[in-house]
Amino acid sequence: MSFIVPKEREVAQGVVIPSPVGENEDMITSNWRSKRPYMKDLDKCDMCRNCYIFCPDGCWVVDEENEVVVWNAKYCKGCLVCVTECTEKALDVADELDFEDGVVRLEKSF
Ligand code: SF4
Ligand code: SF4
């Protein structure tokens, strides 16, 4: 089936953006992040890798040797998608102000 879209309603074709494969210093999060995910209960983590798969900024790294997922604070935007997608409820949310090194305490990005 085909249909005609009026010129004024045309939208640009979507694109697929590949996941980050390495660290890009241009993408470091500044001091506006107010919440962060954290590993609340490591015993509950079954290494399903949902956090690793769903994080749009590639902040979860799988440490195969130690069988844990490791969070990279530098790039986390605090969207909390990883917490939502953690079916085992191993992850939870914390306020940045709960941490001495919280980015909200910084005058500039780190
Ligand atoms: S809060 Fe968002 S950006 Fe941060 S680790 Fe989770 S999914 Fe990634
Ligand atoms: S999504 Fe949750 S259970 Fe799955 S690997 Fe990440 S922390 Fe572990």
Q: Report the nearest atom of ligand 1 relative to the CA of 91.
A: 6
What is the chain's pLDDT, residue by residue, as a tens digit (110 residues)? 777 888 888 777 787 777 677 888 888 888 889 999 999 999 999 999 999 999 999 999 999 999 999 999 999 999 999 999 999 999 999 999 888 877 776 666 55
- Which of 25, 21, 27, 22 is closest to 77 using CA atoms? 27
Q: Is 59 in the pocket of ligand 2 (CB under 6 A)?
A: no
- Residue 46 alpha carbon, nearest atom of ligand 2: 3
Instruction: Report strand pairing: 35-39 vs 91-95.
Output: antiparallel
In the chain, the largest separation of any two C-alpha atoms, in whole Å, equals: 59
Whose CA is closest to atom 4 on ligand 1?
A: 76
Which ligand approaches the C-alpha of residue 35 most closely?
1
Structural domains of the chain ordered from first start: 42-97 (3.30.70.20)
